[in-house]
A and B are shown apart, each in its own frame.
Chain A
Amino acid sequence: MKILVIEDDPDTAEYIAQGLKELGHTVDIAPNGKDGLFLAAGEKYDVMVVDRMLPGLDGLGLVKTARGAGVATPVLFLTTMGGIDDRVEALEAGGDDYLVKPFAFAELVARINALGRRPALVPEQTVLRVADLEVDLIRHTVKRRGQRIDLQPREFRLLEYLMRHAGRVVTRTMLLEHVWDFHFDPKTSVVETHISRLRSKIDKDFAPELIHTVRGTGYSLRESE
């Protein structure tokens, strides 16, 4: 993927760029909002990573301007710790996701992947399929190898999210935010508990296993290792 990183702190920018390059991505860095906007408007990127606080033109203003100019590139905002209102503002300004600094690198990669491979304007699917697992979003039914499986509402949402991101890694935080709407870190193992329940329903009696644990990062739903 071709990624634009707009970040004024050189250490952070270098840390992000270095890591992403090692994963095979092409990375451009802009140290301020003006340069960032220039690049965002002139080049074609798959994802932009934008720091919320930038000298000169700040992150929110940059994304608003870019969106106004017709730049549709998915944006991941980086926000500082403790700003509860930042998320709402970031999304309202036209951001697609946000990540609170400091973050684990795996978290950043998972979110960039989720944004960058988002299919552009594919008609909304009503039936999601991975291997022999089938989720009907209209009828709210789940089948594996043609066999009906009953899920709790929360388990259904969890499975739907995993299916929509099939083949990619989703982190614990991404699940908390999108499945439970929890924008904080619970002390108990909410995600682990629900994943284990879901596994026992869709993976236990069937092979191959579809839900994989990615150590230290999260989970991935895919057909094989």
Chain B
Amino acid sequence: MNLNRLLHTTGFRYALLYVALFGASVLVLFGVVYWNTAGYMERQLKEVVDADVQSLKGDYQEGGVNDLHRSVDDRIASDRHRQNLYLLQDRNGARIAGNLEPRRPLTGWQESVHSVSAEHDEEEHHLILGRGVMLPGGFYLFVAQDANQLDEIRDLTTGAFGWAFLAVAVLAVIGGMVMSAGLLHRVETVNRTAQDIIQGDLSRRIPTRGTNDEFDQLAANLNRMLERIQLLMEELRQVSSDIAHDLRTPLGRLRQHLEGARLRPGTVEEYKRVIDRAIADTDAILETFAALLRIAQVESGSRRSKFTELDLSQLLQAVVETYTPVAEDGDHTLVSAIPPGVTIRGDRELLTQMFVNLIENALGHTPSGTAIEVSLESSGPGALVTVVDHGTGIPEHERRKVFQRFYRLDTSRGTPGSGLGLALVAAIAELHGVDMTLSDNQPGLRVMLRFPAR
């Protein structure tokens, strides 16, 4: 796993976000601490200076520049720690009194550096914080406090927080990298499995750790999805080979007949018979293709957008009306119980074909003399259509399979049919959200189609 890869992971991006977040917290904390230490000290110093300035101003007003001069001298003399600093200068910038060098007569708060002689004749540069005021008569008074301690505290807090910030940043980056490496490893596992599947090994599954965390759940879901895909692929393969098999038989027969006619000399009439038969064979093959295409088209679901409100009672009645004489000719009876006015949303053409297929299926697979019953019930908000016959029925274990393409019961191998009629019924039912169940009518088959509420 290379560094570049790591830097582009989500985990690492989260780490960067954490750096920013922790950095901001450190800054806020720094602000609060600073305000409460250095800030506090600064405010204290300013208060002292302010008080001093007020008092000296008073002296000037009472006794003029001479009194002020004396007061300044007194204060310097009594300040053994050399904490208080003063400057009184005239309008020409010449010092009259004080322990500071003459300066530019700026009013307001100022910070500057002041040299103090310490032990062993060494010089120290101290920060001073002071305030300048102009007095009537052009005199300039500057009162300051030695702010060396303030300076030190400022340096201390800034330094401490600088290091803290650095430590947080380093920890967050390292933590992020470790975390991403862990996540990346698990994602890599999923990726490798996906690669294998792309290569064609559909049986591969993503390993789970058994911890049931999000990754395990993701893996389990992906595995379930793969299971379904594999199943569908197998079904598809099955259908393809079924199609090939089911078409090979009639094509083989067609070839046989044509070859037979080619080898034996015959009359025009005989040739015509062979050609007619070949056309009939071809039509049967084309019909199988058409049925397959129709199923595929219904399964694609594109017809759903063309659904309209339709009268199911009328539609069913029309089908029954059409098939009553057909049933009679085949020695069956078609009985119906269809109340009027049941409406649903659907595709008229497809629903007609669905009912026709079911009725024709019943007609084709039941012995003569038996009845076929079609009924409609308005069941709550939906509708229920039942088609019942009295034939041999379908064994329970085969009931699901009859809706597969080309599936035919052993008992019906002899009867004509493509094995696609019920597959189309299933596709149309699915398109309409119809719940279709097959059950034993004792004897016979009961097909129940439950239409959903609109």
Contact = CB atoms under 8 A, between A and B. Distances in A.
Nearest to B348: A181
Contact of A84 (B287, B303, B360): B303
Contact of B321 (A83, A88, A152): A152
A92 to B, nearest CB: 12
Interface stretch (A13-21, A112-120, A188-196): A188-196
B297 A190 contact: no
A95 to B, nearest CB: 17
25 contacts: A82-B294, A82-B297, A84-B297, A84-B298, A84-B303, A104-B279, A152-B321, A153-B321, A154-B322, A181-B352, A182-B356, A184-B349, A184-B353, A184-B356, A185-B287, A185-B290, A187-B416, A187-B421, A188-B326, A188-B360, A188-B364, A189-B326, A190-B322, A190-B323, A194-B322
A180 interface: yes
Contact of A188 (B279, B289, B363): B363
B286 interface: yes
A194 B286 CA distance: 26
A22 interface: no
A81 B360 contact: no
A102 B323 contact: no
Interface residues on B, range: 20 to 34
Nearest to A187: B360
A173 to B, nearest CB: 12
A81 B297 CA distance: 11
Given A85-B303, A188-B363, A193 B329 contact: yes
Contact of A102 (B286, B302, B350): B286
Interface in A177-213: 180-190, 193-194, 197
Contact of A186 (B293, B302, B360): B360
Interface in A90-132: 100, 102, 104
Given A152-B321, A189-B326, 9 more contacts: A81-B290, A81-B293, A83-B297, A84-B298, A88-B306, A182-B352, A190-B323, A193-B325, A197-B325
Nearest to A216: B276
A219 to B, nearest CB: 16
A112 B205 CA distance: 60
A180 B315 CA distance: 11
B138 interface: no
A81 B289 contact: yes
A193 B353 contact: no
A154 B298 CA distance: 28
A88 B302 CA distance: 14
Contacts of B306: 85, 88
Contacts of A104: 279
B417 interface: yes
A66 B77 CA distance: 117
Contacts of A102: 286
Contacts of A184: 294, 349, 353, 356
A102 B285 CA distance: 12
A194 B325 CA distance: 7
B188 to A, nearest CB: 45
Contacts of B321: 152-154
B294 A84 contact: yes
Interface string B305-333: 01000000000001001110110011000
B302 A85 contact: yes
Interface in A22-42: none
Interface string B350-371: 1011001000100110000000
A183 B289 CA distance: 16
Contacts of B349: 84, 181, 183-184
Nearest to B361: A187
A189 B303 CA distance: 28
B364 A187 contact: yes
B408 to A, nearest CB: 14
B148 to A, nearest CB: 92
